[in-house]
Amino acid sequence: MLEKNKCFGCEFQSSATKFLKTEELEKLEKCSVGISFKKNDIIFKENIFSSNVIYLKKGIIKLHKKTSSKEKIIKIVKSPNYLGIPATFNEKFHYYSATALSDTIVCFIQKEKFKDFIYSNADFAYKIIKCLCENEIILLEQCFNKSKKNVRGRIAETLLFFYNKIFHKKKFIIPLTRDEFGKYIDTSRESVSRVLTEFNNDKIINLTAKNVEILNEKLLEIISENG
């Protein structure tokens, strides 16, 4: 659904666009559209040529990709954040699909205009560089952690990720099905079920369907570290 899009004084302004001057913000407003998505709506699909920078203004989304029948969830991203800058700036197709995990608002910004701001405003450019740098470090951590932990460790880590990085509350609703959870941490839905019920039995979490409350954060951290 098309949203009225106001860049000047936008309550969800990105840390980069805060550096844009009034006339640049007016330009931005003209070259961008805001669109709202409902849970499970596809925001963009992999292998589509990317001609827009995408700004996740509000909501939580998953980035995912298919290979020969199997699917993997690469990343879970919360607003505010840019999506698909790498594909867009390399004149490439989107490497992954993006699907809303909650009701979401997204701005599509014309690539060429976005690039103009990089050329006209060095503070903006530097901020974009910093965003890309942060993303790379997060991705590195993710790769590294995943390869060094067993299933229990990865599930503990993910529960802590939801708590610390997404919801900031010990009580939350897992925004994934068991199957999606498995596709995120590279395991089967059955293993996710088993470990979650184990954590529940051990009073580390309180689990009812998708509702979780973290009861023993300390222990969850230990499991996350040592498997």
Partner DNA sequence: ATTTTTTTGTGATATATATCATATTTTTTA
Partner DNA sequence: TAAAAAATATGATATATATCACAAAAAAAT
Contact 113, 55 (CB under 8 A): no
For residues 55 and 184, which CB has a smaller minimum distance to DNA in the complex?
A: 184
Among 31, 33, 125, 207, binds a copy of itself (CB under 8 A): 125
Q: According to CB under 8 A, which residues from 131 to 160 bind a copy of itself? A: 132-137, 139-144, 146-148
Looking at 130-138, 166-174, 200-208, 215-223, which segment touches a copy of itself (CB under 8 A)?
Answer: 130-138
129 near a copy of itself (CB under 8 A): yes
Does 69 engage in binding with a copy of itself (CB under 8 A)?
Answer: no
- Distance in Å, CB of 187 to DNA, minimum: 3
Least separation in angstroms between residue 64's CB and a copy of itself is: 10
Report the residue number, 66 or 169, with the smaller CB distance to a copy of itself.
Answer: 66
Interface positions with DNA (CB under 7 A): 150-152, 177-179, 186-194, 196-197, 207, 209-210
